[in-house]
């Protein structure tokens, strides 16, 4: 089993690309730290309840807690029948250098880190048009990746929603945080000889193909 880390600003298409690749290839598994966190909270697991306690107080969930959720997923994947051929597309973790060091100490088999490169000015327009299925987590965009029926998920027929953190002011704040905390990971993985870069401006199918070739 291998891990490929997805890098890129919020709205660069990491989740969309990883979801498409995983849907088209049984040996690829998309693991989103955000989905893991929301799923654990909804399921009422011990880790989910602990994370909810932090979030309800307006505090960040500790790196170690999120890392434990990732570790559990990796362990589960290693025990599966497909473990020898499976690659986890890790989306949303690590978000900073501290998390990257935790992942390394965990002994996770990181094969590469692929950066989907998109300019900030494009990011803001993209995020304004994002829509998400609250049930199956499929992602859409009103212009670039519209559903077959407006406002309805192609896969499960659920009404699509807009994430709370996709409003313009929040997006600007998220980009500031990205450049301050997450962008240093580009240099971190470059220094380890693991960084690959793809142009995120060429359309979903082309980006997915380039990502697959790079990883």
For the question of residue 95 being annotated catalytic, the response is yes
Name the CA dihedral angle for 18, 21, 26, 29, rounded to a multiple of 10 degrees.
-10
Distant-in-sequence, close-in-space partners of 93: CB < 8 Å, separation ≥ 6: 33, 66, 67, 70, 99, 103
For the question of residue 14 being annotated catalytic, the response is yes
Residue among 14, 20, 126, 137 flagged as catalytic: 14
Q: What is the DSSP letter of 193?
A: T
Give the phi and the psi of residue 91 in degrees, each rounded to 5. Answer: -115, 115
Residue among 38, 52, 71, 95 flagged as catalytic: 95
| Region class of 8: left (phi > 0), else alpha (psi between -120 and 50), else beta | left
For the question of residue 126 being annotated catalytic, the response is no
Instruction: Using the structure block, give the residue that is written with the tokens 């965009």.
Output: 141
Residue among 52, 135, 163, 196 flagged as catalytic: 163
Residue among 20, 29, 126, 130 flagged as catalytic: 130
CA distance 192 to 179: 20
Distant-in-sequence, close-in-space partners of 74: CB < 8 Å, separation ≥ 6: 1, 3, 88, 106, 108
Six token digits for residue 84: 């020898």
Q: Which residues are 152's β-sheet partners?
A: 149, 159
C-alpha distances in Å from residue 149, one per residue of 3, 134, 158, 160, 161: 35, 16, 11, 10, 14
Residue among 20, 126, 137, 174 flagged as catalytic: 174
The catalytic residues are: 14, 95, 130, 163, 174
């Amino acid at each position: 089993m291998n891990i490929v880390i997805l890098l890129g600003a919020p709205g660069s298409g990491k989740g969309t690309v990883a979801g498409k690749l995983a849907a088209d290839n049984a040996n690829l598994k998309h693991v989103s730290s955000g989905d893991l966190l929301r799923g654990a909270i909804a399921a009422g697991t011990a880790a989910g309840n602990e994370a909810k306690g932090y979030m309800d107080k307006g505090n960040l969930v500790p790196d170690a807690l999120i890392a434990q959720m990732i570790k559990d997923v990796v362990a589960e994947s290693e025990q599966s029948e497909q473990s020898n051929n499976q690659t986890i597309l890790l989306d949303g973790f690590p978000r900073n250098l501290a998390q990257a060091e935790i992942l390394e100490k965990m002994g996770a088999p990181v094969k590469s880190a692929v950066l989907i490169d998109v300019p900030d000015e494009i990011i803001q327009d993209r995020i304004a048009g994002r829509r998400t299925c609250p049930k199956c987590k499929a992602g859409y965009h009103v212009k670039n990746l519209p559903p077959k029926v407006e406002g309805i998920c192609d896969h499960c027929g659920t009404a699509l929603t807009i994430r709370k953190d996709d409003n313009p002011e929040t997006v600007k704040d998220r980009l500031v945080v990205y450049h301050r905390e997450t962008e240093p990971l580009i240099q971190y993985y470059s220094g380890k000889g693991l960084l690959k870069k793809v142009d995120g401006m060429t359309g979903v199918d082309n980006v997915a193909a380039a990502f697959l070739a790079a990883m």
